[in-house]
Each structure stands twice: as C-alpha cells, then as structure tokens.
Structure 1
Amino acid sequence: MINHTPIRRLQRRAFSVLLACAAVAGLGVSAPALAQPYPSKPVTVVVPYPPGGASDALARLLADQLKDTLGQPVLVVNRPGAGSLIGTQSVIRAPKDGYTLLFTGSALTIQAAVNKKFDVNLERDLAPVSEMVRSTFLIATQTARPFKTVPELVKFARERPKDLSFGTNGAGTTSFMIFEYLKSLTNIEMLHVPYKGSAEAVAAVMAGDIQLVADPVYTLHKQVEAGNLRGLAVTGNKRSALLPNVPTVEEAGFPDFNITAWIGLLAPAGTPKPIVDRLGEAVIAIMKDPEVAKRSSALGFDPSGTTPDEFNRKLRTEQAMWTKLARERNLQID
C-alpha cells in the first residue's frame, strides 16, 4: 500500500511557497528581500549632525532600545555636513530595505523650503517612521522691556519698528522661522541678528544687545524663574509644564500658531510598508517606556511617538507652511 503522507506534505509546502510569492508580488518586493524575517542583520541609524549634544545622545538612546526590540545590533553613524544634507542624502540613496534609517529633526522641512541647495523632496525621497520627541520654544525678552505679552510686543513693534530686534542661531533655523511666522501673521517688522549659536543669542538678549529670543523652554525656564528673562509665550499648542503660567501664542490671540521642534526617524522612500510599520510600532513602544521618557525629558525633549501616517501628515503640513512662508517672505538661503 502506497503512503501518500509525504506527497501531501510536499503539496502543502508548495502551496505555502506560492502564497508567500503572491504576497511578495502584491507588496512589490523581490522574494529575496523577504526571504528572511526583518531584521536579519544590523541596522544603521544615520545622524546628519556631529557627535555630542542632546540630539546625538537621543539617537544613541534610541539605538540601544531598538537593539533589544528588534533583536539585532543598531549602529549610530554621524554624517554631518552641508546643513545635514550629506547624511540625509546618504540615506535616500541607501537600499530600500529598512537597514539604513535617518535620525533627523525640524531642519529637514525648513531647509527643504528655504535652501535651494538642499535637494530633498520629502514625498519623493523619504518614508516617515515616527516622530520620537518634540520641543516647545519660548519667546522671551528682558524683564525691563515694556511689553509683557505678545499683543503688547506687536503694538510696540508697530509704534517703534526700528527699535526691535531678535537673535537666533542663524537663518533657516526653528527660532528664525518662529519670528518670521509671527511677522507674517501680524504684519510687523523686526531686525534679525544671527549668532553662531543659541547660547550667544540668549546672552545677547540678557545683555540688552537685542530685545527678543526664541529657544526651547528647557534651556530658558531657569532664567525666567530667576527673573533674568520674561517669558512672553510658548510656541506649541499647549502650555509647558516647566512654565505653566506662560500662555501659548495661540492663547495670546493668534489662532493655529503651533510650532515645535521635533526629532524623528525616517527610511528611504520605497521601503516596504510592513517594515516601516514594524519600526513605527517599535519606536512608539520605546517612547512609552517610563525610563526612556525620563531620560528624554532630561535631555530637554517631550516624548511623543507617533505612527508613520501621523508623522507623514505632520511633515506634509509643516512643509506646506514653511514653503508658503518662504515664498511670502522671500526667505531663501543660497
């Protein structure tokens, strides 16, 4: 009597292979790309900034946590230069397999809007994975200045347009765009004074060399609490727990004013959606961890952790806002 069991097993295996191939074809991914479960080798996270600083520390915190979540080594590689363009383009040109990721921040959407040399198209080149953290900024001035609120600041600027200046860490930064957006909304003018870094701008406003500065709440709140600076408003859509008595710009009478710096993770465009989704789920879980949230807060960030779709919508909205502002205000960096 013939034993048909081995034949049936071979038939079932063949059928399973056909199903897998059909699924792969539906995703538009070659069979070898999904021959092994993701990830099956180390993952590289590219940071387009120099080593050191809070952003780099956050990248290494993420890598350490992702290593445990994904079960593979996660390597952080710093590739600074050209306003983050070098590192960004290295990821864009990388294989679309989820093994090379970009860890970057708000400069991505700003540079794409104002810098002609920043040849990056977000929709064409990158696949958003997750916004990890965000940081609300504080618009601050010396306590001796006559204006105590944003409406009073606007009134002062209209009455004495040549007597108001703001300092930033350079054109095309989040601080710079905050003031340009405020100028656009209120039809006022203020002189921009660029500095080599935000610390120099803060020192200048405290010395009375300039009248205004915008920097993360985390870096300014102690100066406000000590009475050295006055917080006029925070730029996000909710008050900061560090300065709960300081209103948002929106509360001050400017609807839909919501500008925060962010740091997130992106993959090359064309990376298979199941891989992007898995990475997104991993980042969300990591940012919900109490210890990670605590360490992120210690670096000056508010943990967020968003889905790929949520991050994509944020980037599109932000890109449209900055592009419109750059066109209206003729903001171009050559």
Structure 2
Amino acid sequence: MTGPRFALAVAATLLATPVLATQGFAQDYPTKPVRIVVPFGAGGPADVTARLLGNILQDKFGQPFVIENRTGAGGVIGTVEAVKSPPDGYTLLMMSNTQTANESLMPQRKYELMRDLVPIAPVNYSDLVIVVHPSVPAKTLAEFIALAKSQPGKLNYASSGQGTPYHMAGELFKSMAGIDIVHVPYRNSGEARSGVIGGQVQMMIDAVTTMAPNVGEGQVRALATTGKTRSSVLPNVPTASEAGVPGYEATIWLGLMAPAGTPRPIIDKLNAAVNEAVKRPEIVKLWAEQGAVPMSMTPEEFDKYLRGDIVKWANVVKQFADKPQ
C-alpha cells in the first residue's frame, strides 16, 4: 500500500500507539514499589489508615506500598512533595480535609489542589471528640463554655497545625460557642495529643479513632463528640449539638490523590482497588470498632466532593478561622 492510504494508515498507527502503550502500562502496573506520601505525623488517622491500606494494596498487587511521612506547614510540605513527583502512579498522596481547607487558609502555598493533583478515591471518615485535661474544672461542654467565657483568652486548645481538621473544628467551635480560646498549633497530631494529655494545653478536638483509647484510660475527659449522632465507640458522650452548641458538626475524612497527568487507566485501577478494600467485611468491622466509616466513590464523584469541600471551608475561613501564621 502506497500513497494517501499508506500515509493515513501510518498516521492512525502513530495516534493509537500512545493509547495502547498507556493501556499496556496500566495493565502491568505496578512493577515496582509505590510510595504513599502522608503529609501528617506517625500515629495519626492518616498515617494509620495509609499503612493499613498500603498493606492491602501490597497484597493485591504484589509490590510494596511504602508509607513516607512528610510533615510540616499544616500538610503543605508533604503535598508539595507529591505534586512535584512524576505522574506515573508511583507516588500517591494520602490527604484529608486539611488540603481542601488550605486552598483558602494558605493562599501562599506553591500548588493548587485541583490543578496539580487528580482524585483517586476517598477512604473513610470519622467524627471528632472534644476533650480536656482532667485538671480542667469542667465536667460538661456547657461548663467548659462557661469557664472559657469567664476567662477570655486564657484557655488554649491544641491542633496538629494550621488548616488541619482539628484547627478548623476548633475555630468553628469558638465561633458557634461564642468563646475566646487560643489556638496552639503543633507539628503533628501526636504532639498535639501529648500536649493535652500532659496538661500543656487545656483542650483539643481530635479524631475519635485516635483519642478514644485515651478517654478510656482517663488521660483526658471527653465533653462531646462532633457528629450528627453519638459515636458508636463513645456512646455515653453526648454530641456537641446535644451538649450546648446546637448545629455544631465536624469530621475528618481521608482520601488518595496522585500528581496531575497520572494516566487515567492507573487512576481507575487504583480506584477499583481502594473501593474493593474499604468494602471488605473485616475492614468495615475494624473501622466500626474504631469509629470510622468507609467511603466509596468514582474519581469523578470524588472530584465533585473535593470541590464542594473547598467551597465549604472557604466560607468557614472567611468568617471564623485565624489568619495564616
């Protein structure tokens, strides 16, 4: 075959080659270790969940899924590490509503979430719990609010950094309760947790999944949880809405993203694997015992969810949150 027909055939082959190569690459993926960047400290919900999910994916795909904690700047340092990585499916980001809040809370960051990363799948969400050190003379949330109002600016609350769910939940609580308490940002949730357990700060709003054991051991006193209904792991603790702040609600959710440009077949392969993992009966049971609830979406659904969360927190930041430090 020669002439125009030959030229058209060659052109069609050349156009199809990248698509076929990408599909073949995705079928073989992964052929080497995959890195999951966790922009938060060891021992927190994101770290624990990433390690559990990494083990499941490693068993499924036969390649190591290595967890790499890159902490600092309210999750920005780890996010930048993922953003600048090759878009080949071998670097993933375990993220949370920290990243969606940072879109408005930290305007000087060197990336845009929905431009520089692509959604893979959500993983789970959990309620938070409002706790105080046992030395605080408040047995209920209403008593803590009254105490804070009697001493404006004297009480402190810990978080794992600017823009984290614990910080945003704290600012929302301050506004809705009409109190003035001081935000003390730590480098990660583990240090913040130690701060309130050690009595360096009076209060913290932390994930039920990580703080419930400390409540059970009497290291902190739980005043309220932050969901619409009572937590299954702390059923005797009232919700904040029940305890004196009507309508207050806050959660922490986790999800996976990848650098923009990661081939769509790889995104789809990972999405299917994550959705299958979070629906496993043993995982559902484990998370229920810890106070976490699985989430399952397509990449498009997760994209919509992320964009909605960005708008939600932009409104909160505009009205309530501290200015970036």
TM-score by length of 2: 0.76
Name the CA shift for 1:310/1:214 in 2 (closer, same or farther; >3 Å).
same
Q: Take 1:77 and 1:164, find their aligned partners in 2: how far apart are those partners?
A: 36
Q: Take 2:147 and 2:310, find their aligned partners in 1: how far apart are those partners?
A: 31
Name the CA shift for 1:100/1:168 in 2 (closer, same or farther; >3 Å).
closer
- In the other structure, the counterpart of 1:76 is 66
Aligned residue runs from structure 1 range 64-143, under 5 A: 64-69=55-60, 71-76=61-66, 78=68, 80-83=70-73, 84-141=75-132, 142=134
Any unmatched runs of 5+ in structure 1?
1-14
Q: Take 1:87 and 1:140, find their aligned partners in 2: how far apart are those partners?
A: 28
Name the CA shift for 1:227/1:66 in 2 (closer, same or farther; >3 Å).
closer
- In the other structure, the counterpart of 2:312 is 321
1:41-89 per-residue CA deviation (whole Å, 9 max, x = no partner) reads 33623314488535445333323322343x3524315262553444423
Query: Shift in Å at residue 266 of structure 1?
Result: 0.9
Q: Take 1:37 and 1:222, find their aligned partners in 2: how far apart are those partners?
A: 41
3-state SS of paired residue (2:255): strand
What's the % identity of the aligned pairs? 31
- In the other structure, the counterpart of 2:197 is 203
Contact 1:143 1:230 survives alignment (8 Å) = no
1:104-143 per-residue CA deviation (whole Å, 9 max, x = no partner) reads 3343223333234432312212222222133322112348
Residue 235 of structure 1 pairs with residue 233 of structure 2: no
Q: Take 2:65 and 2:281, find their aligned partners in 1: how far apart are those partners?
A: 23
3-state SS of paired residue (2:240): coil
Q: Take 1:192 and 1:87, find their aligned partners in 2: how far apart are those partners?
A: 22
Q: Take 2:123 and 2:252, find their aligned partners in 1: how far apart are those partners?
A: 11
Name the CA shift for 1:174/1:201 in 2 (closer, same or farther; >3 Å).
farther
3-state SS of paired residue (2:227): coil
3-state SS of paired residue (1:47): strand
- In the other structure, the counterpart of 1:47 is 37
Aligned residue runs from structure 1 range 11-30, under 5 A: 30=19
Residue 212 of structure 1 pairs with residue 203 of structure 2: yes
CA-based RMSD? 3.8
Which residue type is aligned with residue 161 of structure 1? P
Name the CA shift for 1:92/1:250 in 2 (closer, same or farther; >3 Å).
same
Contact 1:111 1:172 survives alignment (8 Å) = yes
TM-score by length of 1: 0.74
3-state SS of paired residue (1:45): strand
Name the CA shift for 1:282/1:81 in 2 (closer, same or farther; >3 Å).
same
- In the other structure, the counterpart of 1:266 is 257
